[in-house]
Amino acid sequence: MTHLLKRFLPLGLGILLLIYALRNVSFSAIGEQFQRADYRWILLTGLLTACTFLLRGMRSRQPLLALGYKPTTFRVTIALLAGTMAGMIIPGSGELTRCATLQRTDGVSFSQAVGAVLAERVLDFFVLLGVVSLTFVLEFARLQRYFGGYALRLPTTTGWWLLAGGLLLAGLLLWSVRLIDFTHPRWQHPVAQRIITFSRGLQTGLLSLRKLPQPGLFILLTILNQAMAWLMTYSLMMALPTTRALPLLSVLTIETVALLGGVLVPTQGGIGTYHLLVGRVLMLYGLPMTQATVLATFLHAVGFFLNLIISGIGFLIASFSLGKAPVREATSTGRPA
Segments forming the whole domain that contains residue 145: 17-149+157-320
More confident: 211 or 142: 211
Q: What would the pLDDT profile of 11-55 be if each residue is shown by its tens digit? A: 676 677 777 677 777 788 888 889 999 999 999 999 999 999 999
Whether the CB-CB separation of 292 and 274 falls below 8 Å is answered with no
- Sorting pLDDT into bands at 50, 70 and 90, what band is 336? very low
Could you tell me if residue 334 is inside a domain? no
Q: Is 278 helix (H, G, I), strand (E, B) or coil?
A: helix
The residue type of 55 is L
Q: Considering the domain boundaries, does residue 229 fall inside one?
A: yes
Does residue 144 fall inside a structural domain? yes
Q: Is 207:117 a contact under the CB 8 Å cutoff?
A: no
pLDDT of residue 236: 92
Mean pLDDT of the chain: 79
DSSP H helices, 139-189, are 140-146, 157-179
* Average pLDDT of span 103-127: 86
Distance CA 48, CA 20 (A): 31
User: In angstroms, what CA-CA distances link 273 with 130, 146, 238?
Assistant: 22, 15, 22
Indicate whether 335 belongs to any domain. no
- What letter does residue 332 receive in the DSSP assignment? -
Residue 110, CB half-sphere, CA atoms under 13 Å: how many?
A: 9
The answer to whether position 126 is within a domain reads: yes
Number of structural domains (the chain) is: 1
End-to-end CA distance of the chain: 38
Q: Residue 327: inside a domain, yes or no? A: no
Task: Name the pLDDT band for 80 (thresholds 50, 70, 90).
Answer: very high
Q: Residues 291-320: pLDDT tens digits?
A: 888 999 999 999 999 999 999 999 898 888
Tell me the whole-structure pTM to 2 decimals.
Answer: 0.76
Highest mean pLDDT among 18-22, 29-33, 146-150, 232-236: 232-236
pLDDT at residue 334 greater than cutoff 50:
no
pLDDT score at 111: 83
- pLDDT (mean) for 230-245: 92
Q: What is the pLDDT of residue 174?
A: 61
- Whether residue 325 is contained in a domain is answered as no
In a domain, 245, yes or no: yes
How high is the pLDDT of residue 191? 56
Can you give the pLDDT at residue 66?
A: 87
Name, in order, each residue with C-beta under 8 angstroms of 66's C-beta and a sequence gap of 6 or more: 208, 209, 210, 211, 212, 213
